[in-house]
Chain A
Amino acid sequence: MLPTPSTSHVAFDRIYEPAEDSFLLLDTLSSPPEKAFLHERFNPPNTTDGNSSPSPLVVEIGTGSGVVLSFVHAHAEIIFGREDILTAGVDVNRYACEATSQTIIIAEQEQKREGKSHGLYLGNIVGDLTSPLREGMVDVLIFNPPYVPTPDLPALPQGEVKEGLPSFEDDSKFLELSYAGGADGMETTSRLLDALPAILSERGCAYLLLCAQNRPELVKDKMRGLGGQWKAETVGSSGKKGGWEKLQIIRIWREP
């Protein structure tokens, strides 16, 4: 078990607190089969000139506290088989972006104390899903979305950031944005899935958390329907009850 990054500095009254879903992502990304997949994908054997393939860009959408991004950032060497990864995060919640930068710094210090490596953190951006990103750049995309089915989807904050500390109403809106997924809990996730083919690089892959109400089988079928190269598999799950798992991680990727 790799150590979980510390998030004790994070204000959980306006930022999603790491929970079962966050930990399922950590466990899955560091599981032997996923490490094997990522090692193989990002360390191709035909690097005869002694150079490795270009540094992978790892982007987490909806970083919240930053627990997941700083985990892969700190343990890059173990998870990807190389430490020279670039990491970046996006969240609609500005406070989550600030918290993530802080969580990354703490995780880096922890690695340094133990004489271990970490990736190169580019920064966090306040934004809606992948909209700030240039197409075809992302090698690993990670998303633990707002997945709970709710009657409505909260409106995204827009434009200017208010000065001063957020009000109680602002805080509850940020928390609502972190879990409320609208119809089937899929409204935000569906938008991400639509953007995925353009955003991922040739060697790109995505890890997405889903709950049973999101109908994971339909999601996988939809991605496979994009064409023969597209694959989608369940690679982690938790909370099994009567043959149904409450939460699962699906991996989406293209095979050449």
Chain B
Amino acid sequence: MKLLTLNFLSCAVKACKSSSASFPLHPKDCELESAEIAPNPKLLFNILPRIDWDALVVTASELGFTSLKATPPTNEELEGDEKMMTDLHTLLLETQIMEGSLVCANCGHEYKVKEGIANFLLPNHLV
């Protein structure tokens, strides 16, 4: 799964949905892989406005990408900054989580990721 996916997921436990701590889930012991994708500025421009930037900054820094600024770049800033464009391209479009787990900060449940597929089925006591 793409790292970007974490921006659209939250803990599957019903009681956690209303807690702000259930998003974003926190990657733990994750192995990353990069899948090459041709440069696509338009895709980046159109993804950025729908991203929760604060959550992305948290996810990225937990995975060792610390170069993100505190606020999202405007299209003009992005167009004028080749390095930022490449960094965001790598981070959002190419980076994938292959192994590890995703942890809910509200209930502590760990969702395992195996071969790039996360398992969000809950054990009986959490359903």
Contacts and interface: CB of A to CB of B under 8 A. Distances in A.
B45 A51 contact: yes
A157 B123 CA distance: 9
A131 B120 contact: yes
Contact of A84 (B43, B96, B116): B43
B29 to A, nearest CB: 17
Most A C-beta atoms less than 10 A away, residue of B4, B23, B93: B4
Interface string B3-26: 011011110100001000001000
Contacts of B8: 57, 88, 122, 133-134, 137
Interface residues of B, number: 35
B116 A128 contact: no
B44 to A, nearest CB: 9
B46 A132 contact: no
Interface of A: 51-55, 57, 84, 86, 88, 90, 92, 94, 97-98, 101, 120-128, 131-135, 137, 156-161
Interface in B62-90: 75
Nearest to B8: A137
Most B C-beta atoms less than 10 A away, residue of A51, A94, A124, A132: A132
Interface of B: 1-2, 4-5, 7-10, 12, 17, 23, 37, 40, 42-43, 45-47, 49-50, 75, 93, 96, 114-124, 127
Contact of A120 (B9, B12, B43, B49): B43
A132 B12 contact: yes
